[in-house]
Amino acid sequence: MKEANELIYFEIFPWSKNFETGIALIDEQHRELVHILNRLAAHLANRSDEIVLNEIFDELADYADYHFKTEEAIWSAHFGDDEWYLDHEATHVSFIDKAILLKENRDQKPLDDVIHDIVSFLSKWLAYHILDTDKRMAKAALALESGASMDQAKIQANDEMSGSMKILIHTVLSMYDSLSDRTLELMREKALRQQAEDALDRSEERWRFILDGGVENVWDWDIEHNQISHSENDAPLFKIVDNRFTADDETAAVHPADIQEMKADFQAHLDGQTDFYTNKHRILRSNGSWSWVLSRGKVVSRDEQGNALRMVGTHSDITERELAAQIYQNSSQAILISDINNNIISVNPAFTKITGYQAEYAMGRNPKFLSSGKHARAFFDAMWEDIRMTGHWSGEIFNRRSNGEVYPEFLMINTVKDAHGEIDHYFALFDDITEKKKADERILEQANFDPLTKLPNRRMFQDRLQQEIKRSQRSKLPFALLYIDLDHFKDVNDSLGHETGDALLIEATRRILGHVRESDTVSRIGGDEFTIIFTDLRDTLSIDRVMQEIIVSLSRPFEVRRNSLYISASIGITIFPDDAETASELLKNADQAMYLAKKSGRSCFSYFTPSMQKEAQKRQLLINDLHKALDLRQFQLYYQPIVELQTGKILKAEALIRWNHPERGVVPPDDFIPLAEESGLILEIGDWVYKEATRQTKVWQEQFNLEFQVSVNKSPVQFRSSAKIEDWLEHLAEIDLSGKYSVIEITESLLMENESRIADKLLQLRDAGIEVSLDDFGTGYSSLSYIKKFDIDYIKIDKSFVSNLTLDSPDIALCEAMIVMAHKLAIKVIAEGIETEEQRRLLTDINCDYGQGYLYSRPIPADDFEKLL
Ligand code: C2E
Ligand code: CA
Ligand code: CA
């Protein structure tokens, strides 16, 4: 079929029986039109010159015009003025218009492009015109000839043109659609290849209009003669169908798992049970891989018995689509697709698995329903900003499952854009990373914690120590670093084995932890070595106590694996920032102090600084003595008068405790009250003070017949303890003294403690007629509201205000303000520490009620006090 000049004949429009209308004249003319079109395409593909192309184009236009006239005469004879005829005529008119337009504009583009446009327009138009319009007209015309009415004829024609015919038309048209994009290139490629291959045998029965790059692969199966036609690149596909039904070859390339269903679908259609045959199956490619194929088809003719004679269909490789679907369905990652308004349009099974929400529930909703409430608005705003700017976002986020559980996920959001580059879908992928997080934590734990005791290890300890240094620098509160070494632990380990040693360490850890606060960090930094970072140090006393407790508790026997084991501990203490300023120095100091403790006999603690160590030792000795002081009757109450400023009369006295130590002489309360508080001895001592003071009051009452009041100091530790006020009240009853003759002095800090026990005790005192005095007023933070709430009777202006009092000092204004304020609340004021006449006068002038101080008298023993009275 080669034309002259080695022109590669190019069938852009392969004629087949399918194009025949059944009206001979029309078919003949159509064939001629197609031939001219194919020639035009061939010349185009072969880069023929402009003149030849123009000639052929003109020839085509002339011939079309001639053909339309022939056709119109035939259709007019059958349809008269029916709308089918008129509509058909209109298509001819529009063709001519379009062709003229293309021809007119041909100077504006390179000739190649013009011809290219014309060829693709013509081929499409012709395909539709011949395959659809004319064929339909012909079928109706034939029906009319055989006596049908116009309506019946049209219905019959439409019927015949539906189904497989539609598939065919669709296929051809879509082929030309895709062709038009790069028809020229394709054709030229094709021309070259054909030159090389020296032209294939082109049977008119074979459909040759599917070119490389065509969308679908078409097959035509003549069942009657078992003849198969198929587009060139469908050959490997069709062979399967062929084999399957002719040779019954089970080894055909269809995946064994898909054969059964494919057979059933085919049979169902051949038997007339389905309108179309459709089946998805896998076929074996020559490269050994499986491809997914979607096969569709329809029986286009049957014999009188209804046996299928011929079937037409398509094959498409849907491997990618199918793979995507498989991935979508089986992915362990949740996939969520939402529309431009962020309403969900699809979720996969993993989505349901992770979130607990069914697809039906999620559909149409904004993904907001997953939110955990753990992220602020700003988080999401930033996320959407990112998506708008970059098209995607990824990160960790907390969401909530349908059962309410909050879980972490790794989320990736991508945008899908339409042809114009506008976002039209959001595509979100996420993983539940709960397990991963746990694993991460486990790794972190292994790196930072001692697996045996679960305490921070040396590495973690170093971190915490650094942090604590920074914290302390900010808060200005010192901290202590304690280094604990278990004595004799090595002996246990060596003689009884590691398992016993391990059990002992676990128990020792438990004991140590029992004596520290939550905020303190206990670490295990070596075999039997522990550290404690003891934070927010307000006084060294509390460390002394904790050390003592730890030492005592570690020297109790350990019952481990049926053994009673005895160990003890030596502890070294260093203080930041006093002793050192860096972590490594601190650790060295604490270690050194620990060795000192070991050297001085074990089961004890040692401070790094010698002076501190001395202090600690002194405190320890004092505590030991304090334990015996009550029994040895070493305490004594002194009394200091409280004077009514206006009259100078002694109406009250404050009882102040003294400790007559056999070696040290009189120990002032500031030196031992804190120790008594730390050790709890204050409870017993306090009871003794109250009883002794009230006993003395009673004596003076009877002796001097005065409305005389004695105040006693009560430590916050006493208020916090479970000791009952009732005991005191019973005592008052026993000695027959009214409550109104005693006053309890409390400190401001006590009022700040928001504990009901304290408020209850204060109320109990008031109910018993015992008055309450607020000591050291002005040094703490009491607010008016507190004072009012607790029904205070007196405030005692602290010595520090009084001692600086001169006429023009700011303290006078302060004192006056306190007095005015107190009086407004019906509270009386006592000024402490009056040492000079000037202070007395100033305070009297500003209406202070009472005064106390060396000016009147130092605290003195009861005997001496009597003389004042
Ligand atoms: P405080 O309750 O503020 O007692 C007043 C302190 O000021 C007394 O010290 C007293 O001697 C001293 N003082 C009185 N007048 C003057 C003065 O004109 N100038 C100066 N510079 N000082 C003056 P003391 O007796 O050494 O008591 C110290 C603290 O010990 C008391 O302070 C009180 O908080 C506590 N304390 C004393 N006895 C007891 C007690 O029986 N129980 C409790 N829990 N604490 C007590
Ligand atoms: Ca006091
Ligand atoms: Ca005071």
Ligand nearest 657 Cα, by number? 1
DSSP H or E stretch at residue 531:
strand 529-534
| Side-chain half-sphere CA neighbours of 320 within 13 A | 1
- Say if ligand 1 is within 6 A of residue 656 CB: yes
- Say if ligand 1 is within 6 A of residue 833 CB: yes
- Say if ligand 1 is within 6 A of residue 776 CB: yes
- Say if ligand 1 is within 6 A of residue 213 CB: no
Residues 6+ apart with CB under 8 A from 821: 784
**Distance from residue 792's CA to the centre of ligand 1 (Å):** 20
How is the chain split among helix, strand and coil, in percent rounded to 5?
Answer: 50, 20, 25
Residue nearest to atom 15 of ligand 1 (CA): 853
Q: Which residue has the tokens 């992770």?
A: 354
- Say if ligand 1 is within 6 A of residue 851 CB: no
CA nearest to 774, candidates 835, 853, 828: 828
Dig out the tokens for 619 from the structure.
């405190």
Ligand nearest 686 Cα, by number? 1
**Distance from residue 646's CA to the centre of ligand 2 (Å):** 22
Contact between 656 and 859 under an 8 Å Cβ cutoff? The reply is yes
β partners of residue 575? 480
**Distance from residue 684's CA to the centre of ligand 3 (Å):** 22
Residue nearest to atom 41 of ligand 1 (CA): 657
- DSSP secondary structure string for all residues of 413-474: EEEEE-TTS-EEEEEEEEEE-HHHHHHHHHHHHHHHB-TTT--B-HHHHHHHHHHHHHHHHH
d(CA 468, CA 586): 12
Ligand nearest 711 Cα, by number? 2
Ligand nearest 852 Cα, by number? 1
**Distance from residue 656's CA to the centre of ligand 1 (Å):** 6
What is residue 689's predicted lDDT score, i.e. its pLDDT? 97
Q: Where are the alpha helices (DSSP H) in 514-579?
A: 540-555
Largest CA distance in the chain: 153
Ligand nearest 655 Cα, by number? 1
d(CA 834, CA 805): 9
**Distance from residue 377's CA to the centre of ligand 2 (Å):** 55
**Distance from residue 799's CA to the centre of ligand 2 (Å):** 11
- DSSP secondary structure string for all residues of 583-625: HHHHHHHHHHHHHHHHHTTSSSEEESSHHHHHHHHHHHHHHHH
> How many beta carbons lie within 10 A of that of residue 834, not counting itself?
27
Question: Which one-letter amino acid corresponds to residue 108?
Answer: Q
Residue nearest to atom 35 of ligand 1 (CA): 669
Kindly give the interhelix angle for 669-679 and 682-704, rounded to the nearest 10 degrees.
130
d(CA 790, CA 758): 10
DSSP H or E stretch at residue 657:
strand 650-661
**Distance from residue 829's CA to the centre of ligand 3 (Å):** 12
Ligand nearest 666 Cα, by number? 1
Residue nearest to atom 45 of ligand 1 (CA): 713
Q: What is the DSSP letter of 100?
A: H
- DSSP secondary structure string for all residues of 169-207: HHHHHHHHHHHHHHHHHHHHHHHHHHHHHT-----TTS-
Ligand nearest 750 Cα, by number? 1
What is residue 252's predicted lDDT score, i.e. its pLDDT? 60
Residue nearest to atom 7 of ligand 1 (CA): 833
CA nearest to 542, candidates 558, 557, 567, 520: 520
What is residue 181's predicted lDDT score, i.e. its pLDDT? 46
Residue nearest to atom 4 of ligand 1 (CA): 656
What is residue 244's predicted lDDT score, i.e. its pLDDT? 41
Say if strands 771-777 and 794-797 run parallel, antiparallel, or are unpaired. Answer: parallel
Residue nearest to atom 43 of ligand 1 (CA): 713
Residues 6+ apart with CB under 8 A from 185: none
DSSP H or E stretch at residue 793:
none
Q: How far is CA 81 from CA 15, 89, 150, in A?
A: 31, 11, 12
Q: For residue 22, is it left (φ>0), alpha (ψ between -120 and 50) or beta?
A: left
Residues 6+ apart with CB under 8 A from 212: 186, 189, 190, 233
What is residue 446's predicted lDDT score, i.e. its pLDDT? 81
In ligand 1, the atom with minimum distance to the C-alpha of 714 is: 44
In a 10 Å sphere around its CB, with 0-12 CB exposed, 13-18 middle and 19+ buried, how is residue 160 labelled? Answer: middle
- Say if ligand 1 is within 6 A of residue 859 CB: yes
Instruction: Give the end-to-end CA distance of the chain in Å, rounded to a whole number.
Output: 147
What is residue 760's predicted lDDT score, i.e. its pLDDT? 87
Q: How far is CA 642 from CA 403, 710, 745, 774, in A?
A: 70, 9, 13, 15
Dig out the tokens for 504 from the structure.
């002992």
d(CA 608, CA 598): 13
In ligand 1, the atom with minimum distance to the C-alpha of 676 is: 44
DSSP H or E stretch at residue 42:
helix 24-45
Say if strands 558-560 and 563-565 run parallel, antiparallel, or are unpaired. Answer: antiparallel
In a 10 Å sphere around its CB, with 0-12 CB exposed, 13-18 middle and 19+ buried, how is residue 39 labelled? Answer: buried
Residues 6+ apart with CB under 8 A from 731: 690, 691, 694
Dig out the tokens for 561 from the structure.
């694996």
Contact between 853 and 835 under an 8 Å Cβ cutoff? The reply is yes
Report whether the peptide linkage leading into residue 14 is cis, meaning its omega lies within 30 degrees of zero.
no
d(CA 60, CA 127): 15
**Distance from residue 782's CA to the centre of ligand 2 (Å):** 17
Best mutation site among 713, 721, 865 for ligand 1 pocket (most ligand atoms within 8 Å of CB): 713
**Distance from residue 776's CA to the centre of ligand 1 (Å):** 10
Q: Please tell me whether residue 733 adopts helix, strand or coil conformation.
A: helix
- Say if ligand 1 is within 6 A of residue 775 CB: yes
Question: Which one-letter amino acid corresponds to residue 397?
Answer: I
Dig out the tokens for 189 from the structure.
């490629």
- Say if ligand 1 is within 6 A of residue 689 CB: yes
C-alpha radius of gyration, the chain, whole number: 53
- Say if ligand 1 is within 6 A of residue 853 CB: yes
Contact between 423 and 460 under an 8 Å Cβ cutoff? The reply is no
Contact between 334 and 316 under an 8 Å Cβ cutoff? The reply is no
- Say if ligand 1 is within 6 A of residue 640 CB: yes
CA nearest to 479, candidates 571, 574, 546: 574
d(CA 277, CA 457): 71
CA nearest to 524, candidates 447, 456, 594: 456
Q: Which residue has the tokens 């005065």?
A: 706
Q: Where are the alpha helices (DSSP H) in 657-798?
A: 669-679, 682-704, 716-720, 725-735, 748-752, 756-767, 784-789
Question: Which one-letter amino acid corresponds to residue 303?
Answer: D
Dig out the tokens for 752 from the structure.
């700040």
759 alpha carbon, distance to own chain's centre: 45
Kindly give the interhelix angle for 50-79 and 83-104, rounded to the nearest 10 degrees.
170
DSSP H or E stretch at residue 213:
none
631 alpha carbon, distance to own chain's centre: 64
Q: Which residues of the chain have pLDDT under 70?
A: 1-14, 16-18, 47-48, 106, 111-112, 115-116, 163-218, 227-252, 286, 320-321, 323, 754, 780-785
- Say if ligand 1 is within 6 A of residue 835 CB: yes
d(CA 532, CA 480): 8
Q: Please tell me whether residue 537 adopts helix, strand or coil conformation.
A: coil
User: Is the alpha carbon torsion for 122, 123, 126, 132 positive or negative?
Assistant: negative
d(CA 599, CA 581): 26
Ligand nearest 851 Cα, by number? 1
In ligand 1, the atom with minimum distance to the C-alpha of 834 is: 18
CA nearest to 342, candidates 415, 419, 400: 415
What is residue 233's predicted lDDT score, i.e. its pLDDT? 55
Report whether the peptide linkage leading into residue 456 is cis, meaning its omega lies within 30 degrees of zero.
no
β partners of residue 560? 563
**Distance from residue 747's CA to the centre of ligand 2 (Å):** 9
d(CA 58, CA 136): 28
**Distance from residue 853's CA to the centre of ligand 1 (Å):** 10
- Say if ligand 1 is within 6 A of residue 713 CB: yes
Counting every residue, how long is the chain? 869
What is residue 55's predicted lDDT score, i.e. its pLDDT? 81
Residue nearest to atom 10 of ligand 1 (CA): 859
d(CA 239, CA 243): 6
In ligand 1, the atom with minimum distance to the C-alpha of 855 is: 18
> How many beta carbons lie within 10 A of that of residue 261, not counting itself?
12
**Distance from residue 710's CA to the centre of ligand 1 (Å):** 14
Best mutation site among 630, 640, 656, 742 for ligand 1 pocket (most ligand atoms within 8 Å of CB): 656
Dig out the tokens for 747 from the structure.
């400190």
What is residue 620's predicted lDDT score, i.e. its pLDDT? 80
